[in-house]
């Protein structure tokens, strides 16, 4: 059975979805929420409350790593790409090429970008920490303003047009 709850955050409304064992999705604002549609509202669920607490600590600058059971559903390649994202430390950025090299698939930058774009647990699985090889900010499922906010929160400077890391 799936459970969900919503919370307010500096990046807008977040909807968290969990099984009995692990967090399975994090939705921002009004994006499509297929897992939520299968879930029951539960504001007392242990994993959802822990996720909310840790996200609040992250947004307040008091948390740099998340300690939550995660179970994102995807293909084998997507799962590997998302696991690689968890290796990027707070405050650091990787290029899509570096992530592809980490996966031992150096020519798979586009596939990595596609997998990152389907990350079902953004922020916690930090796809916002991946940018273009020239420092250019590329797409983010939550929108570029959200990506810029998260990168700035983690100490990065972004140009005035919010297009590139300085």
pLDDT tens for 129-166 read 999 888 888 777 777 888 999 999 999 998 877 677 77
Residue 142's pLDDT is: 72
Residue 121's pLDDT is: 97
Residue 69's pLDDT is: 98
- Report yes or no: 69 and 81 within 8 Å, Cβ to Cβ: no
Averaged pLDDT score across all residues of the chain: 93
17 vs 23: CA distance, rounded Å: 6
pTM of the model: 0.93
- Report yes or no: 94 and 129 within 8 Å, Cβ to Cβ: yes
- pLDDT per 10-residue tile (average), the chain, 166 residues: 96 96 94 87 97 98 97 97 97 96 95 94 96 82 84 90 74
Residue 133's pLDDT is: 85
Residue 162's pLDDT is: 66
- Report yes or no: 43 and 27 within 8 Å, Cβ to Cβ: no
Question: Residue 143 corresponds to which tokens in the numbers above?
Answer: 């929108």
Q: Which residues pair with 2 in a beta bridge?
A: 39
Concerning whether 127 is annotated as a catalytic residue, the answer is yes
Catalytic hit among 25, 47, 127, 148: 127
9 vs 20: CA distance, rounded Å: 24
87 vs 100: CA distance, rounded Å: 13
Question: Residue 120 corresponds to which tokens in the numbers above?
Answer: 């079902």
- Report yes or no: 81 and 99 within 8 Å, Cβ to Cβ: yes
């Amino acid at each position: 059975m799936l459970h969900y709850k919503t919370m307010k955050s500096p990046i807008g409304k977040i909807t968290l979805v969990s099984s009995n064992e692990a967090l399975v999705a994090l939705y921002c604002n009004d994006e499509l929420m297929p897992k939520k549609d299968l879930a029951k509202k539960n504001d007392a669920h242990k994993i959802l409350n822990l996720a909310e607490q840790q996200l609040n600590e992250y947004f307040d600058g008091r948390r740099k790593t998340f300690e939550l059971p995660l179970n994102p559903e995807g293909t084998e390649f997507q799962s590997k790409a998302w696991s690689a994202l968890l290796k990027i430390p707070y405050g650091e950025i990787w290029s899509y090429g570096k992530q592809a090299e980490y996966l031992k698939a150096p020519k798979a930058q586009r596939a990595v970008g596609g997998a990152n774009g389907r990350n079902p647990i953004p922020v916690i699985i930090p796809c916002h920490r991946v940018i273009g090889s020239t420092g250019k900010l590329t797409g983010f499922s939550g929108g570029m303003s959200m990506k810029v906010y998260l990168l700035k929160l983690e100490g990065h400077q972004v140009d005035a047009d919010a297009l590139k890391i300085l």
